[in-house]
Chains A and B, each alone.
Chain A
Amino acid sequence: MHADQADGVKKTVTKTVFALVGMFAFAFALVPLYDVFCDITGINGKVATTAKRAIGEDVNTDRFVTVQFITRTSAGLPWQLSVESHQVKVHPGQMTEIDFLFTNRSQSVSGGRAVPSVSPSAATTHLRKVSCFCFQEQQLQANERLTIPLVFQLDNTLPDDISTVTLVYTLYPLKESDEKPSVAKNMNNKNQEI
């Protein structure tokens, strides 16, 4: 190999290694970017995890929207989550309160969290939760039953073609490791402050 070729090879290798490191970092940068992107656009059905103020706007009594509630438990948490009614009809702008019942069916204390999701995703940014159990983690004693309300409002700008909004709550157990803040969780929290 000639000296100029060796130089060229060195330069090419340096550039490709930079590109490699950059792409590796980019893959990790996509995690917060994805959350920011979804926060702005609301396209993955993730709703804000902090309370929003109710806005006093006119209730549009000409329009009915069906709001459905689905609750799911997951493996590893012996809880049950039920809702007083699986479906309510609301007007845009109207404040609605609905009770959710948490039941710990085991003989020991345990912690859990309900993770919300909204479908269709286009409704996400029009759903204002004034109060929700999903904002905090819950601790339940053995066989404890706990009723917590959800207070929400759909705003008047909800697109006309949406006649049904489905709110899904999935229960997850709190992991031991969740006591310490995790990387992904930190990134999430940061996004909410933005």
Chain B
Amino acid sequence: MAPKIPQQSPLQHSDTVATAGGIPQHAAHPTGWRRWVLTTNHKEIGTLYLIFSLTMFFVGGIFALVVRAELFQPGLQLVEPEFFNQMTTMHGLIMVFAAVMPAFTGLANWMIPLQIGAPDMALPRLNNFSFWLLPVSFTLLLSTLLMPGGGPNFGWTFYAPLSTTYAPSSTTFFILALHIAGISSILGAINIIATILNMRAPGMRLMDMPLFVWTWLITAFLLIAVMPVLAGVITMMLMDINFGTSFFDAGGGGDPVLFQHLFWFFGHPEVYIMILPAFGIVSAIIPTFARKPLFGYASMVYATAAIALLSFLVWAHHMFVVGLPLVAELFFMYSTMLIAVPTGVKIFNWVTTLFRGSISFESPMLFALAFVVLFTIGGFSGLMLAISPADFQYHDTYFVVAHFHYVLVPGAIFAIMAGVYYWLPKWTGHYPNETLAKWHFWFSVIGVNLTFFPMHFAGLAGMPRRIPDYALQFADFNFVSSIGAFFFGASQLLFVLVIVLCVRGGKKAPAKAWEGAVDLEWTVPSPAPLHTFETPPVFQSTDK
């Protein structure tokens, strides 16, 4: 199922070697498995990231289906509660750190050099290293499920002291795995910043960059700012568990609430790390298929930056019930609501781009449009959760689960799928099978809503999250959710089928695969040759 980079014609290849004279690593091409393990090419590394992410999407998805199967009806049927807790925890960890984040990094690797007219990433060897850390990290994390005492069972937020004093003995491995994944993200972010700031085509100013590049630049800064904080928190956990310190142990003078402050100081920017690149993808696709320039380019950039800055000031809205003083409840409530303003600017701009556009509904556009609608639903439930007094009712219920799945599944993941369908012609030289892609889209939209919409009602009625059993009155909602989850999960096999078919053949795509596409990636042939832009392209600045 692994998509391969299409064979390069000998002519392109010898051209490449000739023009890359003096850079020895370009002349030597290892073959077979060594080609993939040793590659420093941004396109091959991007492909590796995307394959890894898709694999982990299915691993995390299977964990979610274990959860949904157990919740299909009330009572304990299939798994032990202890294993159920490991499944909810692993589902969250895998989806956040191994599926969504690497998918965006993969898209960044593939597309940022192409979109800014650079021959490769700034630090190609580091790029190889950051990718190969990921399989190491997640093999380690998944192996904890087989260890005595089981894997992490304390939720993906791993609140101390549940994750320290009361944690299974495999927690040290969990911490190491997260450290490695964090280093991978950090190195990826350094590489992306260095590439964007230094390797743009001559004449391309920052305000000329495509929005996917802009949103990734801001995301990379967020990663630089908060991944070290995560590293700090898990280091403190490590010391509490193994070296007798008491950072989070009240008995030794520490404070468990401090853990939550530190975690969410990382955690809230982290959720924007998972959505800002999605904004960038959608901002590329909607103008292409509406055949109009993006409305309000500059305001999009400023809105993204504003969201990123505000993300540092809202963390305690995850902690409204820990006993914050009234002033803090008010501050975090209002600052959280303030984020709706720049986000609203973005939604407004997308809708205005569509207004009187000459719209066609190919599969990337369908996913992008579903993103706008369904992400907005997730945004609204976020606003409801921001109301501090109301949050006392919603906190830790399925309403929260519904909220963040709406922003992550039809939000981040739909945007990734939209991006994959949008750029597949550039990657493989073939259009994806449009009929199958449309079936995939409609099954996904129906599956997502069937799964997550009833969770709003179950949550408002008081069903707590992270439990293997529930009161009888929630049975109908859970029944629907579980059917939707299996439907959604199964329909993702179509996604794999479309990708495999597209790699193997299909309608040939020209360099400019979509009529309304404007960015630099559409000036190189489809499929994109292994080496592109070795002489920088001439960039004509247009006033966006």
Binding site for B on A (CB under 8 A): 1, 5, 8-9, 12-13, 16-17, 19-21, 23-24, 26-28, 30-31, 34-35, 38, 41, 43-46, 74, 113, 115, 119, 121-122, 170, 172-173, 175-178, 180, 182-185, 188
Interface set, chain B 180-217, CB cutoff 8 A to A: 186, 189-190, 193-194, 197-199
Q: Which of A1, A28, A74, A184 contacts B253 (CB 8 A)?
A: A184
Interface-located stretch among B254-262, B434-442, B447-455, B460-468? B254-262
B245 contacts A44, C-beta separation under 8 Å: no
CA gap between A190 and B195 in the complex, in Å? 45
Q: A5-B198, A182-B244, A184-B246 are in contact. Are A16 and B190 (CB under 8 A)?
A: yes
B325 contacts A23, C-beta separation under 8 Å: no
Size of B's binding interface in residues, CB under 8 A: 43
A178 contacts B252, C-beta separation under 8 Å: yes
A27 contacts B262, C-beta separation under 8 Å: yes
Interface set, chain B 291-337, CB cutoff 8 A to A: 323-325, 328
Q: A24-B228, A24-B232, A27-B231 are in contact. Are A173 and B251 (CB under 8 A)?
A: yes
**B518 within 8 A of partner (CB):** no
CA gap between A152 and B120 in the complex, in Å? 69
Offer 23 A-B interface pairs, CB within 8 angstroms, sorted by A.
A8-B197, A9-B194, A12-B122, A12-B197, A13-B190, A16-B189, A16-B224, A24-B232, A26-B228, A26-B229, A27-B229, A27-B231, A30-B258, A43-B325, A43-B328, A113-B251, A115-B251, A176-B244, A182-B245, A183-B239, A184-B245, A185-B246, A188-B253
CA gap between A5 and B119 in the complex, in Å? 12
Chain A minimum-CB-distance residue to B258: A34
A9 contacts B325, C-beta separation under 8 Å: no
Q: Chain B residues with Cβ under 8 A from A175's Cβ? A: 244, 251-252
B244 contacts A177, C-beta separation under 8 Å: yes
CA gap between A180 and B245 in the complex, in Å? 10
Q: Which of B194, B198, B232 contacts A28 (CB 8 A)?
A: B232
A23 contacts B262, C-beta separation under 8 Å: no
Encode contact with A along B228-250: 1 for CB under 8 Å, 0 otherwise: 11011100100100011111011
B255 contacts A34, C-beta separation under 8 Å: yes
**B517 within 8 A of partner (CB):** no
**B500 within 8 A of partner (CB):** no
CA gap between A182 and B243 in the complex, in Å? 9
Q: Which of B228, B253, B262, B328 contacts A20 (CB 8 A)?
A: B228
Q: A26-B229, A43-B328 are in contact. Are A121 and B251 (CB under 8 A)?
A: no
CA gap between A191 and B22 in the complex, in Å? 60
Q: Chain B residues with Cβ under 8 A from A74's Cβ? A: 251
State the 6 A-B residue pairs at the shortest beta-carbon distance, nearest first: A27-B232, A172-B251, A177-B244, A8-B198, A23-B228, A24-B228
> How many pairs, one residue from A and one from B, have CB atoms within 8 Å of each other in the complex?
120
Q: Chain A residues with Cβ under 8 A from B417's Cβ? A: none
**B225 within 8 A of partner (CB):** yes
Q: Chain A residues with Cβ under 8 A from B228's Cβ? A: 20-21, 23-24, 26-27
Q: State the Cβ distance, B216 to closest chain A Cβ, in Å.
A: 14
Q: Chain B residues with Cβ under 8 A from A5's Cβ? A: 122, 198-199
Q: Chain B residues with Cβ under 8 A from A183's Cβ? A: 239, 245, 247
CA gap between A189 and B247 in the complex, in Å? 13
Q: Chain B residues with Cβ under 8 A from A16's Cβ? A: 189-190, 193-194, 224
Chain B minimum-CB-distance residue to A43: B325
Interface set, chain B 260-312, CB cutoff 8 A to A: 261-262, 265
B323 contacts A115, C-beta separation under 8 Å: no
Chain B minimum-CB-distance residue to A21: B228
Binding site for A on B (CB under 8 A): 119, 122-123, 186, 189-190, 193-194, 197-199, 224-229, 231-233, 236, 239, 243-247, 249-255, 257-258, 261-262, 265, 323-325, 328
Q: State the Cβ distance, B517 to closest chain A Cβ, in Å.
A: 27
B252 contacts A184, C-beta separation under 8 Å: yes
Residue from A12, A113, A121, A176 having most chain B Cβ neighbours under 10 A: A12
CA gap between A26 and B250 in the complex, in Å? 22
Q: Chain A residues with Cβ under 8 A from B231's Cβ? A: 24, 27
- Since A30-B261, A172-B249 are in contact, a sample of 16 more A-B pairs with Cβ atoms closer than 8 Å, ordered by chain A residue number, is A1-B122, A8-B197, A9-B123, A12-B190, A13-B123, A23-B225, A24-B228, A24-B229, A26-B232, A27-B262, A28-B232, A28-B236, A34-B255, A44-B257, A180-B244, A184-B245
A185 contacts B198, C-beta separation under 8 Å: no
Q: Chain B residues with Cβ under 8 A from A113's Cβ? A: 251
A184 contacts B254, C-beta separation under 8 Å: yes
Q: State the Cβ distance, A171 to closest chain B Cβ, in Å.
A: 9
Q: Which of B190, B239, B247 contacts A17 (CB 8 A)?
A: B190
Q: Chain A residues with Cβ under 8 A from B251's Cβ? A: 74, 113, 115, 170, 172-173, 175
Residue from B255, B262, B265 having most chain A Cβ neighbours under 10 A: B255
Q: Chain B residues with Cβ under 8 A from A21's Cβ? A: 228
A121 contacts B323, C-beta separation under 8 Å: yes
Q: State the Cβ distance, A112 to closest chain B Cβ, in Å.
A: 9
CA gap between A31 and B239 in the complex, in Å? 14
Q: Chain A residues with Cβ under 8 A from B232's Cβ? A: 24, 26-28
A172 contacts B122, C-beta separation under 8 Å: no
CA gap between A138 and B322 in the complex, in Å? 29
Q: A12-B193, A121-B323, A177-B244 are in contact. Are A20 and B250 (CB under 8 A)?
A: no
Chain B minimum-CB-distance residue to A177: B244
CA gap between A46 and B258 in the complex, in Å? 12
Q: State the Cβ distance, A114 to closest chain B Cβ, in Å.
A: 10
Q: A34-B261, A45-B323, A119-B323 are in contact. Are A12 and B194 (CB under 8 A)?
A: yes
CA gap between A56 and B193 in the complex, in Å? 63
CA gap between A74 and B161 in the complex, in Å? 13
Q: Chain A residues with Cβ under 8 A from B123's Cβ? A: 9, 13
Q: State the Cβ distance, B467 to closest chain A Cβ, in Å.
A: 22
A121 contacts B325, C-beta separation under 8 Å: yes
